[in-house]
Amino acid sequence: MVVLGVETSCDDTAAAVLKDGRTILANVVSSQDQIHGPYGGVVPELASRQHIRNILPIVDDALQKAGMTLKEIDGIAVTYGPGLVGSLLVGLSLVKGMSFHSGIPYVGVNHLEAHLLAIHLEREVPFPYIALLASGGHTLLYCVKEIGDYLHLGGTRDDAAGEAYDKVAKMMGLGYPGGRVIDNLARNGDRTAIHFPRARFRKDSYAFSFSGIKTAVWHYLKSRGKEQWEAEIADIAASFQEAVVDMLVNPTIKAAIATGVSRIVLSGGVAANSRLREKITQQGDAEGLDVFFPAPKFCTDNGAMIALAGYHWLKRGRRDDFRLNADADLTL
């Protein structure tokens, strides 16, 4: 079965062609980072307008790279939530139109589910596994029991991890998005230079919180003055990152131990972080847990993971009709 996947939930316009849920024939992403960069975050109205400009060329490009015409596609998968409603509507409306015109069935995909399953684009990981989804919009912990069976274990009480990266990068004038820039800066910094606080919760809870560290960095920058903090920017980046990574790693390892599930899978844009990957692997090894993460291009938003999730639902016979609407607050 060949599935076309379309993703426009936030600021990336993406399309992919996936064969039999396994072979990626094309995976095209057009980032809007340059458009939103000057604002230090995604501007919803600009995002949806840009999706309108990008979506047709991106879908055409994906089909062309796959060496296929629409007629050879067996099903279409499109993100219908959660995300920015204007952005979601662009992809969903296009796909409904394509499906109506061509008669090819389509399914709406939950963006969160697609992130949780993205690892299967590259390798088989047996169920169940503990999945940490850390992105610009979400920080969630699930036990993935099988496709369609997701046990919510915990999530952030305030900001998402990626949001903390982006806000701290903005404070330091590092541009948007900030995750990769801070990750790179931190490579040359001392992660023990400054002790930023880690949010703590009850022993039996798998909660996250990143608003405190954001404020702590802000106070630190204020207390030092620009000239001084600019001189120690790599240490600040490394110390901030270490605190965020600890707050992501600890509940995840704790959840795996408490549930007796020996596999951990990371996903979402923050899962591309080099220190997170290193530390969770080390701590996982020490506890006898296997840790898996997708390649960075499958951690951030992409059409291949949407095609993959859609493939599983299409294979099970699900078909959506044209009444399906975008759902900005869709949960899993």
| Contacting residues toward ligand KG4, per CB under 6 A | 10, 135-137, 162, 165-166, 177-180, 183, 268-270, 272-273, 300-301
**In the chain, alpha helices (H):** 33-36, 44-66, 85-102, 111-117, 161-171, 179-186, 211-224, 226-231, 233-259, 274-286, 296-299, 303-315
Per the DSSP assignment, residues forming a β-bridge with 77 are: 5, 107
SS3 call for 37 = helix
As measured in angstroms, the least distance from the Cβ of 44 to ligand KG4 is 13
Structure tokens at 299: 């951690």
As measured in angstroms, the least distance from the Cβ of 89 to ligand KG4 is 17
Structure tokens at 79: 């993100």
Nearer to Zn ion, 75 or 136 (CB): 136
Per-residue contact flags (x/-) with Zn ion for residues 300 to 329, judged by CB under 5 A: -x----------------------------
User: Of these partners, ligand KG4, Zn ion, none, which one is at the site of residue 180 (CB under 5 to 8 Å by kind)?
Assistant: ligand KG4
Q: Is the peptide bond before 128 cis (omega within 30 degrees of 0)?
A: yes
As measured in angstroms, the least distance from the Cβ of 13 to Zn ion is 13
User: Of these partners, Zn ion, ligand KG4, none, which one is at the site of residue 273 (CB under 5 to 8 Å by kind)?
Assistant: ligand KG4
User: Of these partners, Zn ion, ligand KG4, none, which one is at the site of residue 81 (CB under 5 to 8 Å by kind)?
Assistant: none
As measured in angstroms, the least distance from the Cβ of 264 to ligand KG4 is 18
Q: Are 235 and 189 in contact (CB under 8 A)?
A: yes
Nearer to Zn ion, 135 or 239 (CB): 135
Q: Is the peptide bond before 197 cis (omega within 30 degrees of 0)?
A: no
> Binding residues for Zn ion, per CB under 5 A?
135, 301
